[in-house]
Amino acid sequence: MNASDIGIAGSLAVLTAALGALAARGLVRFVRNRVRIQLMWGLGLAFATLATGVELVVYLGVVSGPLLETYVFLSAAIVGFLSLGSTQVIHNTVFRASYTAYILATCAAVAVLSFTTPLPNSMVTSGVISGNPPLELLVVSSLVTVPATVVLLGAVVVALRRSWRWQTLMMGVGACVLAAGGALYIASFPAALYYSEFIGIVLIFFGLVSLPHLASSPANAGRPLSKSM
């Protein structure tokens, strides 16, 4: 490996470690406080950690069908579960319950199709996952990513209308960056996609968990899991 390759591999390793720390933070908070939002964000960030881990392994030269199948599933699940965390700003419990059921069902469909559809190693070019999966996988994945992106952006708008805060602005910028990830992947700019995913996830995470009415309000973030679902 030359200096450039080492730099890219090192960057992916740092991204994976950083996302892993954020995921652990969210999941530990859930275990301590039983707050639903921390569970969803923790799982979303855990999926992101696994995705960047796959990117690192593939870049180091380990390429296989199961790895690519896992990556395709994770790419959709990340956005889906992060959007579930953002629905806490929406007070309509019927919508939250229906949307949660929808995301879980569509993520399950993506998982089944991802792990039953053979993916060619040709999706990887120079250690980067730059090729698109089959059309049917793109279509089913969009059933998760498109509504999830809309919900993420909608949650930002709702939160900004209630109270203008810098944390909410971070969520908006992060959601836009994250939403652009899919377009970058389709346009075959995988390196930009890797970093847009990380930046978007981190901005949304810190924006959402820093919002006072979500992080400390008994009516929202402090609600136990059994009552908020």
**Predicted pLDDT of residue 42:** 87
Reference 149, options 126, 123, 183; nearest CA is 183
Q: What is the pLDDT of residue 182?
A: 57
Q: Domain spanning 3-228 has what CATH number?
A: 1.20.1070.10
Burial string for 3-38 (b: 16+ CB within 10 Å, else e) reads eeeeebbebbeebbebbbebbebbbebbeeebbbbb
| Termini Cα distance of the chain | 49
Digits of tens for pLDDT over the chain (229 positions)? 777 778 878 888 988 888 888 888 889 988 888 877 788 888 988 998 898 899 899 999 899 989 999 998 998 898 889 888 888 777 888 999 999 999 999 999 999 999 999 888 888 888 888 777 888 888 898 899 888 888 888 877 777 777 667 776 776 677 667 666 655 554 455 556 667 777 877 787 677 666 544 444 434 434 444 343 3
Model pLDDT, residue 93: 87
Per-residue pLDDT, 104 = 95
For position 102, what pLDDT does the model report?
96
Residue 98: the pLDDT is 94
The sign one gets for the Cα dihedral 206, 211, 212, 215 is: negative
> In angstroms, rounded to a whole number, what is the distance separating the alpha carbons of residues 100 and 217?
22
Distances (CA, A) of 182 to 37, 124, 177, 186, 190: 24, 17, 10, 6, 10
Q: Which two tokens stand for residue 67?
A: 């790895």
Torsion 42-48-54-55 (CA) sign = negative
> Can you tell me whether residue 116 is helix, strand or coil?
coil
